[in-house]
Amino acid sequence: MSPALLRLALLPTVLCLSSCLYLRTTSQSFETSTPAPEVGGAKFRAEFIPRGSEAGVTVSAMVVGGAMITENGPYQLRLHAFGKKGEQSWFRVTRFVLTVPGRLEAPMEKRAFEGSAPFENTSTAGSTRASLLFGTKIHINTKDHRDKEIFVEADVEVMRHGRLVRGTIRLPMQRTKAARGQSYFIPTEIAKSFRKETPASIPSALPPPPEAP
């Protein structure tokens, strides 16, 4: 269930028991601490975007004082390649394997990463980025399996200066957590919604891509 829908589900309880709610959201993703692997002069980065969520409430003296949302798996994957202006034209993936130590080793079907991603200019002068969105959700770190470490391996091809460069990238990744919080005064929020002063709480389809590997 999306965070927006979870907020709606919690709203009736909050209206009955409290006029103020503190919402704490914890986003769980996977990051690597190793240098970005490079193929054809382009540095690669894997981004795991959480598409699952779990909710709970905190209760004190029978009054709801806060709500907790954890954003976790399944995940949508974007693979980014960072290059230099005038050097790389595009990249594509020809093989992808995800490993969870002690639990699974899963080669992904090619239809999940079909096509190539073109390099485009970023906000940094002289820097370019190409992003490939995988079409299959990756079911890791869900309520059934609390995965802490994964390993990504992919064969990629980069068109550089009109020549095709092939290579393999390997990324050991660990689970990370990032928290954010916000307080809501429920009667005020409802009034604002009726006056259309606040937009609907609908998350963007995809977060902005990273600016660096």
Give 62-93 as a DSSP string: TEEEEEEEEEEEEEEEEEEEEEETTTEEEEEE
Is 70 exceeded by the pLDDT of residue 40?
yes
Residue 187 pLDDT: 55
**pLDDT more than 70, % of the chain:** 73
Residue 209 falls inside a structural domain: no
Residue 61 falls inside a structural domain: yes
Mean pLDDT value across residues 182-203: 49
Is 60 exceeded by the pLDDT of residue 195?
no
Residue 138 falls inside a structural domain: yes
Residue 49 or 73, more confident? 49
Residue 26 falls inside a structural domain: yes
Residue 164 or 57, more confident? 164
Residue 125 falls inside a structural domain: yes
Q: Provide the residue range defining the domain that includes 189.
A: 3-194
User: Do the bridges between strand 63-84 and strand 20-31 make them parallel or antiparallel, or are there none, so unpaired?
Assistant: parallel
Residue 58 pLDDT: 55
pTM: 0.74
Domain count, the chain: 1
Residue 210 falls inside a structural domain: no
Residue 104 falls inside a structural domain: yes
Residue 121 to residue 88: CA distance in whole angstroms: 11
Residue 22 falls inside a structural domain: yes
| CB contact at 8 A, 174 and 34 | no
Residue 81 to residue 44: CA distance in whole angstroms: 4
Q: CA 56, 7, 179, 169: dihedral to nearest 10 degrees? A: 100
Residue 137 or 81, more confident? 81
Phi, psi of 191 (to 5 degrees): -60, -40
